[in-house]
Structure 1
Amino acid sequence: MKIDEAIERLVTKLQEDQQEDGSWQYPFEAGTFTDAYMVILLRTLEQDDETLIQALVNRMLRLQEENGAWKLVQDEESGNLTTTVECYYAILYSGYVKKEDPRMKRAKTFILKNGGLEQTTLLTKFVLLLTGQYRWPSFFPVPIELILLPIAFPFNLFSMSVYGRAHMVPLLVAADKKLEVKTARSPDLSDLHGHSRHDPFLEWAEADDSRKLHGTIHYLVKKVTDLPEHLHQLAISRAKQYMMSAVEEDGTLFSYFTSTMFMIFALLALGHSKKDPLIQKAVNGLNSFQTTVNGHPHIQFTTASIWNTSLISYALQEANLKPEDPTIKKATEYLLDKQHYKYGDWVVHNPAVKPGGWGFSTINTIQPDLDDTTSSLRALTASALNDKDIREAWKRGTTWTSSMQNKDGGWAAFEKNTDSRLLALLPIEESKGILTDPSTPDLTGRTMEFLGNFAHMKNNHSILKDGARWLKKNQQKDGSWEGQWGVNYIYGTWAALTALDAADVSSKQSTIVKAVKWLKSIQHDDGGWGESCLSDRHKHYKSLAASTLTQTAWAVDGLIAVSDFPDKSIRDGIRYLLAHIEKHPWTEDYPVGKGLADRIYFHYHSYRHFYPLLALAHYRKKFKNV
C-alpha cells in the first residue's frame, strides 16, 4: 500500500466514525476492574439491573485464563492477583456463578497461591473494606481533620493532586465511620486470606510513623482553629461540601468511575439511604459510561471524547483536511462548546489566570488537564486564524496552558506545583502515583511542542528554555524518557523529542543523539516498535513480543521530528505501518494508555487509526521530495 492510499483510507475511516455532534466516541477500555466494581456496587446498593450485571459477568468470564486467573495485561506470565480477586468477588456477588463452579475453584487456588487478599493493591482493599470483606485498622492514619488544614501548611488537602483529592476525600469520610455495607447476597471471602501474617495495609495503618502522622495532623488543626470542640463535625461538613461542589451534571464526582463509587459509599456513611436521589443520579452517571467491546457491555473509567475528538481533528488536518471541511467544522464546534469557563481546584495554585482549558470527558466542566487542552488548541489553531471568536478561545486556552508551568520548568497533568515530597514519602502504597501530580516528560513534551510549533513561542523564551532544561535533566541514562500516561518509555521519548525539536534544540546535541540511538536500538526486526506494560513493574524498558501500530507511530513520529532525511529506521517503521494498518493481531487490543503504573491501563480503540495517520502525514509533509 502506498502512503497516499493509506492516508486516504484512514481519513475515510475516521470521517465515517464521527458522531453527529462532531465528536468521536471510540471505546476507552479499562480492562475488567470497572466492570467488577460496577457489579459489586449495584449488588451493594441492591439495584438489581440483571441485564447489565449478567452481561458484565459474561464479559469477565470470557477473559478468564485456563488456570482460573485474570490478567492485568495479555503478556503477564500467569495472572494478576488483584485483578483475579476483583473478578472473583464480583462474579460470586452477582449470584450467577457459585463457589463450587470449577472456574471459581481454580480462581481461588490462584488467589491463595499468590498471597490472598492481603497482597491485593490499595484500591481493591478499599472496596473490600467498604463492603465488609476486610478488617478496618484500629484507626485510619490520615484523619478527616486533614481537610481543615490551610493551604499555607506544607501538608494539606490541596498539596495533593486533584486525582488524589477526588478519591481521598470520600475515603476519609468512609474511613472515619469505618463503613461496612453488606447485604444478604454478599459472598463470604474469608477463605481467601493468605497464610502469611504479613499484611501491608494493616502494617502501614498501625505503624509508628502513621500514628505520628495522625497525631501531628490533629495537633496542627487544633492550633489553627477557634472551634476545637467542633473540629470533627466541621471536617465532615467540609468533606461533604467539597464532594458536592465537584459533582458534574451527570451526578459523577469529577467524572471518574472510582471517585464516584467512593463518593456513593461516603454518602452512605453520612446516613444517606441507598435510594437517595444523589446516589441514584451518581449510579445513572456511571451507567452512562457504558460502551460495547467485542459485542459485550463494558463500563468505561470515564469517556474519552474530548481527547479523541481533539487528536483526531488535528491528525485529519495534518493529513490536509482544511478548517472549512465539514468534518473539521463539526469537531471545532464540539470542542469550542467544551472549553471550560468555571474555576476548578487548579486555581488554588494558579489564582491569577482565567479558566480556558479542556477536560478529558464529555461532561467534565471543572477539571481541565494540560494534555486535553494542548490537544484541543492544536485542533483549533488553523480555524483561529480566520475566526475572531475561535481566536479568542484559543488565546484563552494558550494563556492558561503557559501559566501552568511548574517551578521546576516542567508541566504536570492537572495542577501546578502539586508534587509534595512529603506526600511522596507517606507510607501509603502507590502514594506517588495517586497523591502527587509531578512534572512528566509526556506532559512537558506535548505542551512545549504546542507552544513552539503552534503558538510560535520563540525558542529563547524562558518558558521553552526552562522546559528544555527540565527534559534534559530528567532523561534516563539510556537516552529514553519515562511516560506517565502512556506505555511507556517509547511514549515519553516521542513526546520529549518532538518538544526539543519545537524548541529548536539541535539534533546534534547529545540529548537528542542519545534518544535517537535508544529508539533505534529497540526497533523490532519487522520494522515496528512494541513495549510491554511490564516496563512499569521492571522499572526499565521491557519489549513486547510483537509490534503495535500505535507505538510504532509514536517512535516514527519522534524520529521524523528530529531527522533531516528518512533513514532506514524511519523507512522500516513506515513500511510496518503501511503493511499492518488493515490487520488486527492481538497487539492491537493491547493497552498502551496508562492511568496508574502497574495497576490501571487503558486500551484506546481510536489510537490504531489516528496515530498512524499522524505519523504518515508528517512523513509525507517533511520528506515528500526526498
Structure 2
Amino acid sequence: MARQQADGHIVFELEADATIPAEYIFLNHFLDDLEPELEAEMAAYLRSIQSDVHGGWPLFHDGDFNISASVKAYYALKIVGDDISADHMVRARKAILDYGGAEKSNVFTRYALALFGQVPWRAVPAMPVELMLMPRWFPVNIWKFSYWSRTVIGPLLILASQRPLAKNPRGVHCPEIFKTPVEEIKVWNVNPTGTRWGDFFIALDKLLQPLEKHILPRLPFRKRAIRRALEFINPRLNGLEGLGAIFPAMANATMAFNVLGYDREHPDYKIALASVRKLVVDTADKRKGKPQYCQPCVSPIWDTSLSAHALLEAGVERTDERVIAACDWLAKEQILDVKGDWSVNVPDLRPGGWAFQYKNDYYPDVDDTAVVGMLLHRVDSKKYAQNIARAAEWIEGMQSTNGGWGSFDIDNDAEFLNSIPFADHGALLDPPTVDVAARCISFLAQVGYEKDHPTIKRGIAYLKSEQEEDGSWFGRWGTNYIYGT
C-alpha cells in the first residue's frame, strides 16, 4: 500500500519479455531519434534476462528458447553497439543458428527485419492496405480481428504499403544470424496451421505478392485505403495513453506517421511518440541496480482492483480509507459515454466497462469490469449501485453466442483466420475463454443473478463444455491450467 497514489490508485510495473525493449531500440533507429543513455540501459536489461541455459531469450522466466524474441534481442544489442564476438552475443548467435536461423522467426519479427532491410518484403505475407476498405460482410476484414490485432495492423498496413527503409544511422546489419543467406531463401511464408484453410491462404499470398509489389500501388484505391487507415487510427490515438494503449500499436503508428511525411511537430506524430516514451520504466529509485526497460502497457485498473481485493482478504475493513480511496478512483474511471469497437456488433448496448489502462475508452474489457464490479459490490453496494448496475448490464450484453465471453469483443472467433500466414503468432483473435467467462459469471452471481437466469445458464453450459478430460480448464490470460481451473 506504500505504492498507493494520492488519488487512491495503485500501479505496478508491467514487465514483459525481451521483445518490447528490443522494439523500442528498433523504433529509435528507424526514426534516427536516438537516446544513447536509455538505449544502453535497455541493452543492459536485455543482457540481464538472457538465459544461462540455452543462450537465447524466452517468453517467460526460465522458459524455453524463443527464436523471435532472441532474434530481436540480438539485433537490438548489435544496433546499440554490442560486439558480436562478446560471449553473450556468441551464445545467442549459436542458439539462433542451432534453431534454424533468423529465417525461422515469426511474421512480426520478419516485419521488423524488413523495415531494416535485413530481409526482402516477400519474406512477410502480403497484407495490402486495401484491407481497410473491406466491409464487415467480407470474410476478411479488420473487425474480425481482436482489438490488439486491429490496432497493430492498422498502422502496419500503411508501413507495408510504403515499404520504407529504416534510417538505421549506424548502418547495422545482421546477416550472421541467418542459417541460409537471405538471397538464397526461396520460401518464407508457410501454412501456420496445416489446415486446408492454411493451404488456401498460402496460395492467395502467392497471388497477392506480385500484385502488392507491382499493381496495387498504382491503383486509385491505394490512397483511399491509406486515408481509411488514418481515419481508423486518429480517433483512437488516445492522448498520452496511445493507440490501443499498447506498445506495438503505438510504435507502428509513430512509424506510419513518419513514413507518410508528418513533421515531427505535427500533433499526431508528437502524441504518438510521446505515448511510447511514457512506457519507459525508470527503475533507478525502485530497485537498485536494475536497468530501465519498456513496458508493453500499463495496468492501473487491474492493479488497483486486485490490490483492494487483497486488502479485504487480509482482513482490512471495508471502511478503511485506503480501500474507499481505491474504489472512488475506480468508480470515476468507468467508461460510460464512449461506444468503442465492441459496439460494432452490439450497437444498442450502453457502455459500462473498465479498461486495463488509465485511459483506453475504445477498448474496455469484461475481465477488468468484472473484477472492479465485484470489488465495488463488496465494499459498498449502495454507494456504487449505479456503477455496478451499468457494469452488469454491459457484461451481460457482451456474452457471445456460445455462452462464453471474450475479453474485448463478442463472437470474435472466426477460427479460419488463424490460418492466414500473418497469424503465425496464434493471437489474431479474441474468442471466448473459460477464465474470462468464469469471472463474468462470478460477478453476475455476486450481484444477484440466479442460477436459472438465461445468461448464467448459458455461461455454465459453456464452462462445462470446455472442461478438459483431466478435469482442468485452460486459462488464456494467466498461467494457464491452474489459472483457468
TM-score normalised according to structure 1 size: 0.69
- Equivalent residue number for residue 458 of structure 2: 466
Match of 1:72 in 2: 59
Find the aligned partners of 2:389 and 2:187 in 1 and give their Cα distance.
Answer: 49
User: Where does residue 307 of structure 2 map in the other structure?
Assistant: 312
Q: CA deviation at 1:129?
A: 1.6
Rounded to whole Å, the distance in 2 between the matches of 1:133 and 1:204 is 23
2:249 corresponds, among 259, 278, 301, to 259
Distance 1:430 1:384, change over 3 A: farther
What root-mean-square deviation, in Å, do the aligned CA atoms of Structure 1 and Structure 2 show? 2.6
Q: Would you say 1:271 and 2:265 are equivalent positions?
A: no
Q: Percent same amino acid among aligned pairs? A: 29
Output the CA distance in 2 between the equivalents of 1:466 and 1:327.
37
Distance in 1, Cα, partners of 2:231 & 2:258: 15
Q: Distance in 2 between matches of 1:213 and 1:57?
A: 36
Q: Does 1:411 align with 2:411?
A: no
**Paired positions, count:** 463
Q: Distance in 1 between matches of 2:131 and 2:32?
A: 33
The alpha-carbon deviation at position 450 of structure 1 amounts to: 0.8
Cα deviation for residue 342 of structure 1 reads 1.2
* Match of residue 343, structure 2, among 343, 347, 356: 347
Describe the shift of the 1:83–1:25 C-alpha distance in structure 2 as closer, same or farther (beyond 3 A): same
Select between 368-377 and 318-327 the one with higher mean Cα deviation. 318-327
Query: Which one of 5, 9, 12 corresponds to residue 26 of structure 1?
Result: 12
Q: How much has 1:410 moved relative to structure 2?
A: 0.3
Pairing partner for 1:373 from 365, 369, 375: 369
In 2, the alpha carbon distance for the partners of 1:490 and 1:350 equals 33
After superposition, give the CA deviation of every residue in 1:164-190 in whole Å (9 maximum; x if it has no partner).
Answer: 111111111111122221323131112
Aligned twin of 1:37: 23
Per-residue deviation at 1:200?
A: 6.5
Q: In structure 1, how many angstroms separate the alpha carbons of the residues matched to 2:158 and 2:69?
A: 26
**How has the CA–CA distance of structure 1 residues 329 and 344 changed in structure 2, closer, same or farther, with 3 Å as cutoff?**
same
Cα deviation for residue 347 of structure 1 reads: 0.5
Give the alignment partner of residue 242 of structure 1, picking from 229, 232, 242. Answer: 232
Displacement of 1:484 after TM fit? 0.5
Conservation of the 8 A alpha-carbon contact between 1:118 and 1:199: no
After superposition, the Cα gap between the structure-2 partners of 1:434 and 1:233, relative to the gap in structure 1 and judged at 3 Å, is same
Q: How many Å separate the matches in 1 of 2:199 and 2:379?
A: 58
Cα distance change of structure 1 residues 200 and 318 upon mapping to structure 2, 3 Å threshold? farther
Aligned with residue 179 of structure 1, among 164, 182, 189: 164
1:542-569 deviation digits (Å, cap 9, x = unpaired): xxxxxxxxxxxxxxxxxxxxxxxxxxxx
- Pairing 1:426–2:426 present: no
Q: Cα offset for 1:274?
A: 5.6
1:359 matched residue in structure 2:
355
The aligned counterpart of 1:84 is 70
Map of 2:295 onto structure 1: 300
Distance 2:199 2:127 in 1: 12
Please state how far the C-alpha of 1:339 moved relative to its aligned partner: 0.9
1:168 aligned residue (153, 169, 189)? 153
Q: Which runs of 5+ in 1 are unaligned?
A: 1-14, 220-227, 494-626
Alpha-carbon distance, 1:208 to partner = 6.5
Asked which structure has the greater CA Rg, the reply is: 1
1:439 to 432, 437, 447: 432
In structure 2, the CA distance between the partners of 1:446 and 1:18, relative to structure 1 (3 Å rule), is: same
Matched, 1:202 2:202: no
SS of the equivalent of 1:29 reads coil
The counterpart of 1:289, out of the listed 267, 279, 283, is: 279
Cα distance between partner residues in 2 of 1:422 and 1:175? 23
Structure 1 CA distance for aligned equivalents of residues 96 and 186 of structure 2: 15
Counterpart for residue 133 of structure 1: 118
Contact kept? 2:123, 2:188, Cα under 8 Å: no
Q: Which moved more, 1:139-148 or 1:341-350?
A: 139-148
1:211 positional shift: 4.9
**How much does 1:52 deviate?**
1.2
2:87 to 95, 98, 102: 102
User: Any stretches of 5+ residues in structure 2 without a counterpart?
Assistant: 193-197, 212-217
User: For residue 378 of structure 1, what is the amino acid of its counterpart?
Assistant: M
User: What's the counterpart of residue 480 of structure 2?
Assistant: 488
| Residue 108 of structure 2 corresponds to residue 123 of structure 1 | yes
Structure 2 partner of 1:527: none
Displacement of 1:375 in angstroms is 0.8
C-alpha distance in 2 between matches for 1:72 and 1:209: 28
Residues 32 and 167, structure 2, Cα contact 8 Å, conserved in 1: no
Secondary structure in 2 matching 1:490: helix
